[in-house]
Amino acid sequence: MFFSSAGDINLLNHAGLVENLFSQTGGYSGTWATASGEGAVFASKMTYGNGTYGCYTRDDYLNSRLIIIWGFNPVVSSYKGNGGLHLARAREAGIRIVCVDPRYTDTAATFADQWIPIRPGTDAAMLISMAYVIITENLQDQAFLDKYTIGFDQYKEYVLGHEDNIAKTPAWAEAITGVPAATIASLAREYAIKKPAALLDGAAPGRTAYGEQFHRAAIALAAMTGNLGIHGGSVPGGSVYGLSVPPVKMGPAVYERMNNRQNPVDQASPPRKDAGPYKGQPSASSARVNEMNIVNAILEGRNGGYPADYKLLYLINCNYVNQWGNTNKMVQALKKLEFIVVQEQFMTPTAKFADIILPTNTYLEINDLAIGSINLFYGYVNKVIEPVGETKSHFEIATELAAKLGIIDYTGKTTEEWLREIVAGCKDIPDYDKFKQQGIQRIKLSQPLVCFEEQIKDPVNHPFGTPSGKIEIYSQEIANLGKPNLPPIPKYIETWESLNDPLAKKYPLQLITGHPLRRAHSQLDNIPWLKELYNHAVKINTADAQGRGITNGDLVKVFNDRGTMIIPAKVTERIMPGVVDIPEGAWYNPDENGIDRGGCANVLTRDGCSPGGAFPGNTALVQIKKA
Ligand SMILES: Nc1nc2c(c(=O)[nH]1)N[C@H]1C(S)=C(S)[C@@H](COP(=O)(O)OP(=O)(O)OC[C@H]3O[C@@H](n4cnc5c(=O)[nH]c(N)nc54)[C@H](O)[C@@H]3O)O[C@H]1N2
Ligand SMILES: Nc1nc2c(c(=O)[nH]1)N[C@H]1C(S)=C(S)[C@@H](COP(=O)(O)OP(=O)(O)OC[C@H]3O[C@@H](n4cnc5c(=O)[nH]c(N)nc54)[C@H](O)[C@@H]3O)O[C@H]1N2
Ligand SMILES: [Mo]
């Protein structure tokens, strides 16, 4: 089993080199999905289809009359494209900004006119009841729906309650979400009337059980109001996560030659049924497991219906033990394996389980290239210091392993030769040496890029990538999957571990695990100065703390059936009652009793994925007591 994640974004020194190596020596067992936004990926591929995304640049915020930031906190977890900067400009321009989030985030505090707290995992219910208001008050853009979408009528049946005798009124949603019905109704009217309006559906509400429904419902709402494919609108499912294809490319031919991912193991198995428009890609192979299921795949193997009995795990660019659901269970799984290789820069909680650690350079020790995705730029990663100790680059590691495996002509070129060749294939960069010296080259645009602009302006010649060529509010492809809890129209499905779960008697608090201000996930948690600046703690509402005799800074025990940790409490009004937040990424550090003293959020989260493949890291019940 080979797994790689968020560690590097280099064009040359990246995990693909190792994948290439394995592909040439019989192949490897891979994974599919992305922890960041598989809910959004699923919703986008099924609703818009694949292949024809444009790019959506955030300077387009200035063209909106209303911006709804939904479960998105770009001031802290800046996710591609300088969201904070562009929101600041929108704020200065007087554009109304609304924030829907269980937390009064720094983004809400800095930019929002209105904060709407909502119970985690219930967002689809609010979006669907907004659709109810729009339909019953006849505010929908029927011309847009008729021209560009299919399935609105089926959705309408569900929303109005003709399908299941439950009208999805704001009052219905209030009971689920905790958001007052009047607030929902007025936001719905505003979004429908104040055109153009942007609905920025963050990836975090999609990182819940049935998270794909949130994004599907957001797309439906944007389509109902004609706020898609136009300046000042947005592209839900892709606006935040950035599924778009940017117009920055570097020497693809060379790049692909180095990245031979013709993995025989993938090729020997048919595509997964739910691969949708991604069927041609290696990650669609049924030989792969969802990355959230690696734990169960290792523990259960073929007997559990997984593609293989795994013996060796090769990890690169990731801190798996720390960063995926159910850390304590993962530790058990790792003990079952025969051999673990970790390519790392630091002795992380994951590296501690390795039989062999291949020490890897940081980006300060190598020359390399990077490209932006929503920020449009080409970057030269200039080496600052000579490699420390025995560390090697990914390129050197792959080359030396290749020689030992007898793949002599594996790369055949020096790093410098490769970098020159990749840059030579890029029409935007005329002079390699000048580019190297200048370090960054931005692409200037005459106006913001808008996703799906062509599909809206000229639908005949630019159909969407779905089977119907339209935005599929009803998806036959989803219907064909026949999966439980994966309906062909967007629906609200109550999550596991919701407040109605009997488990809530024992564990009455909903845990969310936001991205941390002064770390990139688990990276930089080992920097003492940053720890001083940013105290890792569980955020808990004043009322919840008072009921438990907890005051600010107290050490508390946070626990459920999956694990226990002891960390400080941050008592605050900036999180709604009933919800607590432990930022992901703090390093797992169990004491002799198995109690985590590091504050690794995934000690408390579940493994496994939602039916559409999403990582449900924001769905978990816990209890908190004074330690
Ligand atoms: N509970 C909870 N868990 C989450 C999330 C959440 O919201 N809640 N978010 C999820 C998300 S969106 C993501 S993307 C994942 C991220 O999870 P990971 O991909 O594990 O991310 P990092 O913690 O940044 O770990 C990257 C590791 O790679 C190493 N590294 C960095 N650069 C290089 C390099 O060039 N070469 C090599 N070999 N190693 C390098 C770093 O030292 C670090 O240990 O976490 C997920 N986990
Ligand atoms: N500083 C920093 N920046 C980062 C990262 C990092 O670790 N540190 N990680 C990077 C990566 S790989 C990613 S994927 C992105 C992640 O970026 P995001 O997914 O946007 O970040 P989060 O902090 O997980 O969540 C954003 C907001 O969603 C809220 N939220 C959580 N659950 C729910 C819910 O059920 N409903 C609603 N309405 N809101 C909810 C949280 O309170 C939070 O304010 O950030 C990237 N940027
Ligand atoms: Mo991510």
CB of 605 shorter than 6 A to ligand 1: yes
Collect the ranges in the chain with pLDDT lower than 70: 50-54, 239-261, 277, 408-411
Helices (H) and strands (E) in the chain, counts: 22, 21
Closest CA to 260 of 27, 50, 423: 27
Q: Give the tokens for residue 195.
A: 């055109």
Query: How far does residue 403's CA lie from ligand 1's centre (Å)?
Result: 29
pLDDT attached to residue 258:
58
Query: How far does residue 291's CA lie from ligand 3's centre (Å)?
Result: 13
Measured from the Cα of 100, ligand 2's closest atom is: 38
CB of 151 shorter than 6 A to ligand 1: no
Reported as a single tens digit per residue, the pLDDT across 469-508 is 999 999 999 999 999 999 999 999 999 999 999 999 999 9
Residue type, 152: F
Tell me how far the alpha carbon of residue 566 is from its chain's centroid. Answer: 27
pLDDT attached to residue 51:
46
Cβ-based burial of 532 (10 A; exposed 0-12, middle 13-18, buried ≥19): exposed
Rounded Cα distance between 423 and 429, Å, is 7
CB of 34 shorter than 6 A to ligand 1: no
- Contacts of residue 327, defined as CB under 8 A and 6 or more positions apart, other chains included, come to 321, 563, 588, 596, 600, 602, 603
CB of 104 shorter than 6 A to ligand 1: no
Q: Give the tokens for residue 497.
A: 């571990």
Which protein residues touch ligand 2 with a CB less than 6 Å away? Answer: 6, 36, 70-73, 76-79, 100-103, 105, 118, 120-121, 123, 202-205, 208, 512, 514-517, 519-521, 585, 618
Rounded Cα distance between 98 and 266, Å, is 45
Question: Residue holding tokens 């009803």?
Answer: 474
Query: How far does residue 314's CA lie from ligand 1's centre (Å)?
Result: 15
Protein residue with its CA nearest to atom 23 in ligand 1: 522
Closest CA to 116 of 70, 78, 176: 70
- Least distant ligand from the CA of 603: 1
CB of 50 shorter than 6 A to ligand 1: no
CB of 313 shorter than 6 A to ligand 1: no
Protein residue with its CA nearest to atom 42 in ligand 1: 345
Measured from the Cα of 521, ligand 2's closest atom is: 7
Task: Report the residue among 11, 366, 584 best suited for mutation to probe ligand 1: largest number of ligand atoms under 8 A from its CB.
Answer: 584
Rounded Cα distance between 607 and 279, Å, is 26
CB of 8 shorter than 6 A to ligand 1: yes
**SS3 per residue for 300-367:** HHHHHCCCCCCCEEEEECCCHHHHCCCHHHHHHHHHHCCEEEEEECCCCCCHHHCCEEEEECCHHHCC
Measured from the Cα of 78, ligand 2's closest atom is: 47
Residue type, 425: G
Query: How far does residue 241's CA lie from ligand 3's centre (Å)?
Result: 9
Reported as a single tens digit per residue, the pLDDT across 324-371 is 999 999 999 999 999 999 999 999 999 999 999 999 999 999 999 988
Task: Report the residue among 512, 515, 517 best suited for mutation to probe ligand 2: largest number of ligand atoms under 8 A from its CB.
Answer: 515
Measured from the Cα of 601, ligand 1's closest atom is: 1
Q: Give the tokens for residue 252.
A: 């693809």
Measured from the Cα of 6, ligand 1's closest atom is: 19
Protein residue with its CA nearest to atom 17 in ligand 1: 323
Question: Residue holding tokens 């991604």?
Answer: 278
Tell me how far the alpha carbon of residue 529 is from its chain's centroid. Answer: 28
Query: How far does residue 397's CA lie from ligand 3's centre (Å)?
Result: 26
Query: How far does residue 74's CA lie from ligand 3's centre (Å)?
Result: 13
Closest CA to 53 of 431, 449, 399: 449
pLDDT attached to residue 247:
64
Measured from the Cα of 515, ligand 2's closest atom is: 23
Closest CA to 206 of 182, 168, 241: 241
The average confidence (pLDDT) of the chain is 92
557, 565 Cβ separation under 8 angstroms: yes
Report the run of H or E that residue 115 belongs to, with start and end.
strand 114-116
148, 142 Cβ separation under 8 angstroms: no
Query: How far does residue 566's CA lie from ligand 2's centre (Å)?
Result: 23
E strand segments, 477-584: 509-512, 538-541, 555-560, 563-572, 579-581
597, 566 Cβ separation under 8 angstroms: yes
Query: How far does residue 521's CA lie from ligand 1's centre (Å)?
Result: 6
pLDDT attached to residue 126:
99
CB of 617 shorter than 6 A to ligand 1: yes
Protein residue with its CA nearest to atom 4 in ligand 2: 77
- Contacts of residue 415, defined as CB under 8 A and 6 or more positions apart, other chains included, come to 12, 366, 367, 393, 395
Protein residue with its CA nearest to atom 44 in ligand 1: 319
Query: How far does residue 9's CA lie from ligand 1's centre (Å)?
Result: 12
pLDDT attached to residue 589:
98
- Least distant ligand from the CA of 584: 1
Query: How far does residue 174's CA lie from ligand 1's centre (Å)?
Result: 36
Protein residue with its CA nearest to atom 44 in ligand 2: 73
- Least distant ligand from the CA of 240: 2
Query: How far does residue 204's CA lie from ligand 3's centre (Å)?
Result: 10
Query: How far does residue 120's CA lie from ligand 2's centre (Å)?
Result: 13
Rounded Cα distance between 506 and 562, Å, is 13
Protein residue with its CA nearest to atom 3 in ligand 2: 77
Rounded Cα distance between 593 and 605, Å, is 19
Q: Give the tokens for residue 440.
A: 């960054």
Query: How far does residue 40's CA lie from ligand 2's centre (Å)?
Result: 13
Residue type, 564: T
CA dist list (Å): 355 to 247, 328, 569: 42, 19, 36
pLDDT attached to residue 587:
98
581, 569 Cβ separation under 8 angstroms: no
Query: How far does residue 422's CA lie from ligand 1's centre (Å)?
Result: 27
Rounded Cα distance between 424 and 432, Å, is 8
